């Protein structure tokens, strides 16, 4: 059963600490998205990769967020330093070929709480 795997599922950290979230996309998918979900803003796209190349990270606060894809089986989203306003659920999603008519498959998310 192919699925997107995210770790950790939950993370509680203190303000100022570094947070790293990991995502294993479905094998063979060439597009990876990072979304953030909050009550106020809903689902927002933070960044996406195609064939491991970062194509757009305009949705991320550049000074503290970074996204990488060191290999085809791992995508990471890092926040340094973390702030309470970063508290949200972060979703990774992957897509077979990243076209308009193909759907994204979502992981179960990482629930981040910054205190």
Partner 1 sequence: AQSVTQLGSHVSVSEGALVLLRCNYSSSVPPYLFWYVQYPNQGLQLLLKYTSAATLVKGINGFEAEFKKSETSFHLTKPSAHMRDAAEYFCAVSSMDSSYKLIFGSGTRLLVRP
Stretch that binds partner 1, among 14-22, 69-77, 78-86, 87-95 (CB under 8 A): 87-95
CB-nearer residue toward partner 1: 76 or 81: 76
Q: Within a 10 A sphere around the Cβ of 91, how many other Cβ atoms?
A: 22
Q: Which residues in 53-82 contact partner 1 (CB under 8 A)?
A: 55-56
**b/e map 9-18, b = 16+ CB within 10 Å:** eebebeeeee
Residue among 95, 104, 73, 59 nearest 7 (CA): 73
Smallest gap from Cβ 4 to partner 1, in A, equals 7
Alpha helices in 1-115 (DSSP H): none
Task: Tell me, rounded to whole angstroms, the distance of Cα 93 from its chain centroid.
Answer: 8
| 90 makes contact with partner 1 (CB under 8 A) | no
CB-nearer residue toward partner 1: 18 or 24: 24
Q: Write the binding mask 25 to 54 for partner 1: x where contact by CB under 8 A, - elsewhere.
A: ------x-x--------xx-x--x------
Task: Tell me, rounded to whole angstroms, the distance of Cα 36 from its chain centroid.
Answer: 7
Rg (CA), the chain: 13
Which residues in this chain contact partner 1 in the complex, by CB under 8 A?
A: 4, 31, 33, 42-43, 45, 48, 55-56, 91, 93, 95, 98-109, 111
């Amino acid at each position: 059963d192919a699925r997107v795997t995210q770790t950790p599922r939950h993370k509680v950290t203190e303000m100022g600490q570094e947070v790293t979230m990991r995502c294993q996309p479905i094998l063979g998918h060439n597009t990876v998205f990072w979304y953030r979900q909050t009550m106020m803003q809903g689902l927002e796209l933070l960044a996406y990769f195609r064939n491991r190349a970062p194509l757009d990270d305009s949705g991320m606060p550049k000074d503290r967020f970074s996204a990488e894809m060191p290999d085809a089986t791992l995508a990471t989203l890092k926040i340094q330093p973390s702030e309470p306003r970063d508290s949200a659920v972060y979703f990774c999603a992957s897509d077979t070929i990243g076209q308009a008519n193909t759907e994204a498959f979502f992981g179960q998310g990482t629930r981040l709480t910054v205190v």
